[in-house]
Amino acid sequence: MRSERSNIAICAELYAPIISIRDPEVYQVAVSIPLPQPSTLIGAIGYSYWKMKLCNGEEQCIQRARETVVKARASTTISSKFSVVLSRYRGVLEEKRLPENIDEILGFRDAMVREYVFLDRLKILIIPSHSKYIDEIKKALLITERVGDSESLVSILSVKEEEIKDCNGDSVNVIIRSSLAEGGAYTIVRGLLENGTKDLLALPLLHEKNYYKPSYIRVRRDIKCACGLRFPEGDDW
């Protein structure tokens, strides 16, 4: 029998060749941030909850994900960004019918510039709000289909739980709020936390030329570890 708020983290490793996580500050041109923001991971878990029939509708499923997860943070390997022109027949989805002639085909179609991130592996750290949610979070991660927009398909390589331990040092390698960063090499973006509020996020990535490479962020906190990921003590990071 697991204890309430047990000292357990859930770790997932995903193969995600290309993903697109839209910067919340942009509108038409979909610029992507280099790593999934916390709210994106909450959205992915909420969608899995819907498939598991644990909730009804987007709002209820997102709320359930927020209630079961305290922290959902990402880390990754070397990555790079590139832009594509994405063409869609959006009118088919909006009007729920196929175009009847050439003129309608042109009207149904639109195109936009979208940025994608090319990477190898994506590591996800999940801190459950209560031990009773561990099994359902693990199942939700195992059936995750995408992280980001509808083209950001992922394959789940592993999902496991591991005891959280104290670690030496003063650096972390997952996304944190930038106000906690004391040094190191990192990239700052504006993103959304697990509860949907905007904040400046520090990503454990160093931008060099045309790619990002993994880095560490120094913090003035005790450090915790699980599954090779390092993160600050407490719940406010």
Tens-digit pLDDT profile for residues 139-196: 999 999 999 888 899 999 999 999 999 999 999 999 999 999 999 999 999 999 999 9
The CA-based angle 161-166-169, given to 5 degrees, is 125
pLDDT of residue 3: 44
Position 219 in a domain: no
**Structural domain contains residue 170:** no
CA distance linking residue 223 with residue 126, whole number of Å? 16
Number of domains in the chain: 1
Using one digit for the tens of pLDDT, what is the confidence trace for 35-46? Answer: 999 999 999 999
Q: CB–CB of 148/43 below 8 Å?
A: no
Query: Is residue 211 within 8 Å of residue 77, measured between CB atoms?
Result: no
Residue 40: which CATH number?
Answer: 3.30.70.2660
Q: Is 201 contained in some domain?
A: no
Question: What is the model's pTM?
Answer: 0.88
Residue-number span of the structural domain to which 131 is assigned: 8-164
Question: Has residue 236 been placed in a domain?
Answer: no
Residue 5 has pLDDT above 80, yes or no: no
pLDDT at 209: 83
Q: Is residue 199 part of a domain?
A: no
